[in-house]
Amino acid sequence: MIKNILKQIVTTLLRFEAKLILRKHKPKIAAVSGTVGKTSTKDAIALVFGKEFNVRKSEKSYNSELGVPLTIIGAKSAWNNFFQWILILVKGAGVILPARGWRAFGAKKHGPASSAGGYPEWLVLEMGVDRPKDMKRLASWIKPDVAVITALGEIPSHVEYFKTSDELAKEKSRLVQNLKEENTAVLNGDDQRVLGMKEKIKAKVIGYGFSAGNDLTASNYLVTPDGISFKVEYKGNIVPVRLHNIFGRHHVYTALAALAAGISQGMNLIEMAETLSLFKPPPGRLNLIEGIKNSFILDDTYNASPMAMEAALEVLNDLPAKRKIVVLGDMLELGAFTIDEHRKLGRMVKKSGAKLLFAIGPRAKFIASEARVAGFKPENIFEFSFSDEAKKDVQEKITEGDLILIKGSQSMRMEKITEEIMLHPELKEQLLVRQEKEWQNR
């Protein structure tokens, strides 16, 4: 009870400081929301914008009422350390107060505003929705110049606290509905829920996707052992794009969103495409990692939703391997859709080319049962309650040349399995998600 009260007080104070910082420094804002691809898209936009502007992006997935103010202040979460939260508030005050006023407190000036480049010209913010009114509260004071909606899909993640998936889509749409005419909305035109938002938008709209009706169109998608390549067309100009060590059709959408955001600011398409060749997705987003016994791991352990699971299985199917293994954990926050979506995933597993299936968690049992019904050999299906229980068994069954896809929702801690079978566990802090001390103690 006391902890929740303190958290609410800190959140309120951080939001108050963040508002004052925006009022004082007036940075331009690119905001990103959607069901999947928010963090990767945010990182890609920051990479593209960083070639011409002083940019700050959200740390990791700082996309909540707490995380967004932290990004604006330029601080990282203090977790349960109340003293560190006080220091963050002090840092925020340092960004707000003029140097003269700050020295009146007998302290040195703190925060990003004291850096050589001054406060960032652009903030690239990730904005998430878990419950009703989440976006309404954020959009009441975050006024983006560019707003991006990545994708929602038929059954979005975080739908648990909404009556329908349409209600969740409506909540996310608040980000773009309040845009002014001089602003830009960047929409995934291949997602019908996202495209439907266009009707209520006053701002300029740039649609992106594979479909011919989009402003920014991708074609010639190709997967190679080195990554993916495709072509982008915009107003008759065609530019090739190559993403190294990145796999999955969904990353084309990431690149397109970043290009569209850059186009809204008059940036050069060819130069942006060259910049994107340097893009690397955050940890836990379908990264290819060397595994033990000359195997490879598709580490997609950050989180999971039906749409993201399907994308990961498509990548597994696209890549060549001696043998393919899937290690799948529960998908959480699906509410009434939980059983059906896990069963659907079991049918997808059968079509993915995988020969072994590890199902982790009580909900994943529906993946296993439906995979059996679909014809997956029962002797090749292994069920566990937790990732810690499964990791040794996964390790023992790996053979040379295997490609192992590991994915599940955040609370399933699927990165523990990746750590168990990766060739260089000493690199886990830079390659894997949730390596902070606070996560390790859970």
Residues 145 and 293 in one domain: no
Q: Of 243, 276, 309, which closes a domain? A: 276
Residue 247 confidence class, pLDDT cut points 50, 70, 90: very high
Which pLDDT belongs to residue 100?
54
Residues 148 and 192 in one domain: yes
Residues 123 and 45 in one domain: yes
Number of domains in the chain: 2
Identify the CA nearest to 87 among candidates 103, 121, 113, 110: 110
Residue 279 confidence class, pLDDT cut points 50, 70, 90: very high
Which pLDDT belongs to residue 154?
74
Q: Of 276, 311, 336, which closes a domain? A: 276
Residue 47 has pLDDT above 60, yes or no: yes
Residues 272 and 342 in one domain: no
- Kindly state whether residue 366 falls inside one of the protein's structural domains: yes
- Kindly state whether residue 67 falls inside one of the protein's structural domains: yes
pLDDT in tens, 111-143: 333 334 589 999 999 999 989 999 999 999 999
Find tokens 């107003």 and name the residue.
235
- Kindly state whether residue 410 falls inside one of the protein's structural domains: yes
**Residue of 190 and 103 predicted with greater confidence:** 190
Residue 28 has pLDDT above 90, yes or no: yes
Q: Which residues contact 111 (CB under 8 A, 6 or more apart)?
A: 73, 74, 91, 92, 94, 95
Residues 131 and 8 in one domain: yes
Q: What is the mean pLDDT of residues 183-212?
A: 96
Residues 318 and 251 in one domain: no
Residues 21 and 163 in one domain: yes
- Kindly state whether residue 213 falls inside one of the protein's structural domains: yes
Residues 213 and 325 in one domain: no
Percent of the chain with pLDDT over 70: 95
Q: What is the mean pLDDT of residues 72-82?
A: 91
Residues 333 and 432 in one domain: yes
Identify the CA nearest to 327 among candidates 225, 432, 403: 403
Residues 84 and 164 in one domain: yes
Q: How far apart are CA 37 and CA 152, in angstroms?
A: 10
Residues 152 and 20 in one domain: yes
Q: Of 245, 276, 307, which closes a domain? A: 276
Domain that holds residue 70: 2-276
Q: What is the CATH number of the domain that holds 160?
A: 3.40.1190.10
- Kindly state whether residue 226 falls inside one of the protein's structural domains: yes
Q: What is the CATH number of the domain that holds 329?
A: 3.90.190.20
pLDDT in tens, 152-197: 877 666 677 888 888 999 999 999 998 999 999 999 999 999 999 9
- Kindly state whether residue 160 falls inside one of the protein's structural domains: yes
Which pLDDT belongs to residue 99?
58
DSSP 92: H
- Kindly state whether residue 282 falls inside one of the protein's structural domains: no
Residue 401 confidence class, pLDDT cut points 50, 70, 90: very high
- Kindly state whether residue 87 falls inside one of the protein's structural domains: yes
Beta strand pairing status for 55-57 and 28-33? unpaired
Q: How far apart are CA 322 and CA 362, in angstroms?
A: 30
Residues 386 and 297 in one domain: yes
